[in-house]
Amino acid sequence: MSKAYDKLQKCLKQIKEKTDFVPEIAIVLGSGLGSFAEKIDVKAIIPYSEIEGFPVSTAPGHAGRFIFGNLAGKRVVAMQGRVHYYEGYDTREVVLPIRLMRLMGASTLILTNAAGGISEKSYPGCFMLITDHICLAPSPLIGENLSEIGTRFPSMDNIYDRDLRKIVKNAASEIPLFEGVYIQTTGPQYETPAEIQMYKAFGAGAVGMSTAVEAIAAVHCGFKVIGISCISNMACGLSDTPPSEEEVLEIANKSGTLFSKLLISVITSI
């Protein structure tokens, strides 16, 4: 057994000691989606800090927790808070929670984030359904393969599942949503205007600092993945004001209600 798989099993054991809840759908809640958790009929809450070996956010007040419960007739586990590569964690550590939720039993994963808009279709407060990604961070699959959960050379042809994308589009009939490619930078600095022009030429519709490495690990371990970005700002150089954390959080929080509505509608339809 690889060391990483052993660590996963140890984390899983600690969770099973606290709850026997078996989720079908896993959700990673990005910035602004805090209120979504209120919609869950909660069965158990486990703070990440109570799981030995679990990567805990270095940002004060952002430690995070798993919320287990029922929503729209489905058994869900939601991650309130995630860790990022820019915090100093290796991408292999960043994706531990994703693998853990798969081992808990979930088979569909909904990844959400706040992102900077690059596409001409984007504006702050709208949403992007991720069709594909470009990952500029190191692969979370580097190193010994966890053969217990996935293959050495997984295909990335259908990362953001085509059938699930159709479901999201139907569920979003009254919500401003466009489709596009997500590009993940390492962060933590925002991009330069020149980098944004390059990413635009690459075909990216939105830029962020999470999600792609999580999606890679998710596909590797057999999840079907949905990715949705909340466009919190225009990417650097595409509006009069450069991106700032304040703007990202303000718009992401303002969009939280609509984002929650979209997610509930998606979960209902899955």
The residue ranges that bind ligand HPA (CB under 6 A) are 114-116, 190-191, 207-209, 232-233, 235, 243, 248
Report the C-alpha gap between 179 and 131 in whole angstroms: 6
Q: How far is the CB of 253 from ligand HPA (least distance, A)?
A: 13
Looking at this protein, which amino acid is placed at residue 119? S
Is the CB of 87 or the CB of 191 nearer to ligand HPA? 191
Is the CB of 118 or the CB of 141 nearer to ligand HPA? 118
Q: How far is the CB of 185 from ligand HPA (least distance, A)?
A: 6
Do the Cβ atoms of 52 and 70 come closer than 8 Å?
no
CA 180 to chain centroid, in Å, comes to: 16
Q: How far is the CB of 214 from ligand HPA (least distance, A)?
A: 15
Do the Cβ atoms of 206 and 180 come closer than 8 Å?
yes
Is the CB of 115 or the CB of 262 nearer to ligand HPA? 115
Q: How far is the CB of 63 from ligand HPA (least distance, A)?
A: 20
Q: Measured at CB, which residue is nearest to ligand HPA? A: 116
Between the CA of residue 121 and those of 9, 127, 132, 205, 213, what are the distances in Å? 43, 10, 17, 8, 25
Q: At 6, which helix (H) or strand (E)?
A: helix 3-18
| Beta-strand relationship, 74-80 and 25-29 | parallel
Q: How far is the CB of 155 from ligand HPA (least distance, A)?
A: 27
Is the CB of 46 or the CB of 238 nearer to ligand HPA? 238
Is the CB of 112 or the CB of 265 nearer to ligand HPA? 112
Report the C-alpha gap between 195 and 247 in whole angstroms: 20
